[in-house]
Structure 1
Amino acid sequence: MTGGRGRAAAAQPTGPQWCIDRYVACDTAPARARHDVQLSLRAWGLDHLVDDARLIVSELVTNAIRHTRTGAVGVSVTRLSGHVRIVVTDDSSTLPARVPPAADAEAGRGLQLVDQLATRWGSQPLPTGKRVWAELPTHG
């Protein structure tokens, strides 16, 4: 990913490819994270994953900012054998929960969207917060 304090690994023809960055928890973080994940996927020749990955990143980063008191959000994307894993970390220990929104609610469907787009997703507590991850297959 570009800019910021994170490190970007050079894309390699074999082995895992990854990028990671941290964003201040503010209104511009989801857009910056979407852009950086898009750049990584395009550099890896995975253009067909860009739209779904952007939506997943947007939802997970927005949830981290909106539902926690975190000061920063970490985002990584890793290309592994057969799939791409997107990980969002924050310093809140509260794990995400799928709560069905009211039929007329204008928000609250983010995790349902992640569930529909990702082949697998989940969350894990960390000593300093949590990680929420989602996977997309690299083959069409």
Structure 2
Amino acid sequence: MATAATSCPTGHPAYSQTLPREARSAAVARRLVRTALALWGMDSLTEDATLVITELVANAVDHSRLPSIRVTVSRPTPNGIRLGVVDRSRTVPTLRTDPEDDQLRGRGLILVNTLTNSWGTELYRWGKQVWAELHVEDA
């Protein structure tokens, strides 16, 4: 079954897309991030940003309640981007810090923490947004 999703600007400059809460939505989210970064001339962030959005989408797929999530890509500063995933769960993600943990999953936020300048969670009455910011390093 094909999944339809629409993309629209949500401000200047920002993009968002509502996606089904399923693992294959990570590929669509990565495309949205790559497109925005190419348009903004911030290609140097592409590798890290696509990995980060993949992890944020995976967390929402695993822990949210409703059938859709919303992915956002914005540019709050001239040299920075903010990636976000909005879902209908109010459970705040936690960073695992035990290096001896033998869990097969659950290390996504360690990657997010390592690859970003900052990340966090905004709680809403009906859910949350987990966001991460990356900046282009000054040359």
TM-score (norm 1): 0.86
Q: Which residue of 2 aligns with 1:120?
A: 118
Shift of 1:117: 0.5
Aligned CA RMSD, in angstroms, stands at 1.9
Q: Which residue of 2 aligns with 1:59?
A: 55
Shift of 1:108: 1.2
Q: Of residues 69, 74, 81 in structure 2, which corresponds to 1:78?
A: 74
Do residues 87 (structure 1) and 88 (structure 2) align?
no
Q: Which amino acid aligns with 1:7?
A: C
8 Å Cα contact 1:6-1:21 kept in structure 2:
yes
Q: Give ranges in structure 2 of 5+ residues lacking alignment.
A: none
Do residues 136 (structure 1) and 134 (structure 2) align?
yes
Alignment of 1:7-18 (within 5 A): 7-8=8-9, 16-18=12-14
Q: Which amino acid aligns with 2:133?
A: E
Q: How many residues were matched structurally?
A: 133
Shift of 1:80: 2.4
8 Å Cα contact 2:63-2:89 kept in structure 1:
no
Shift of 1:9: 5.8
Judge which range, 117-126 or 63-72, deviates more: 63-72
Q: Which residue of 2 aligns with 1:13?
A: none
The SS at the match of 2:9 is coil
